[in-house]
Amino acid sequence: MIEEEGLLKITNYKTHPGNPYYTVFHFKEKDRADFFRQKLTENNIWFEEDTDAKEGKTYYYFAVKKPNTKQAMYWNNYTIGKFRKPFIADKSLRVFVILLSILILGLTILSYVLSQSSN
């Protein structure tokens, strides 16, 4: 198991603590781990896999050799993107926020133009 460092764990990968020639990717959700495994296998990227149970939660680890890290990083980002939820999930609220932003931008531009014409 790889201990995650620091308060903010922004990425889900790091250099293997015992072997610097490997990068280790970790996932907390089985569906994401399964998808990542599938992409690594489809693209002939060699990896070692392990799981660890901690505090009732299972963690999935994938160790990839350093020469394949760039390709694995692509599939890691692809996996994260595939399972990412929209920032604003409700479509009507999303449209409202976009329209409100356009309105505010329009009023700002109009205000600037009117203030320039009065000078």
Distances (CA, A) of 86 to 19, 59, 93, 118: 37, 24, 12, 43
Report the share of the chain in percent with pLDDT over 70: 92
Whether 109 has a pLDDT exceeding 90, the answer reads yes
Average pLDDT over residues 96-119: 93
Res 1: pLDDT: 46
Whether 63 has a pLDDT exceeding 90, the answer reads yes
Res 117: pLDDT: 81
Whether 6 has a pLDDT exceeding 70, the answer reads no
Q: Give the pLDDT band (50/70/90) at residue 114.
A: very high
Q: Give the pLDDT band (50/70/90) at residue 54.
A: confident
- The whole-angstrom separation of Cα 116 and Cα 86 is 40
The mean pLDDT value of the chain amounts to 91
Res 61: pLDDT: 96
- The whole-angstrom separation of Cα 16 and Cα 5 is 13
**What is the pTM (predicted TM-score) of this model?**
0.72
Residue pair 34/97 in contact by the 8 Å Cβ criterion: no
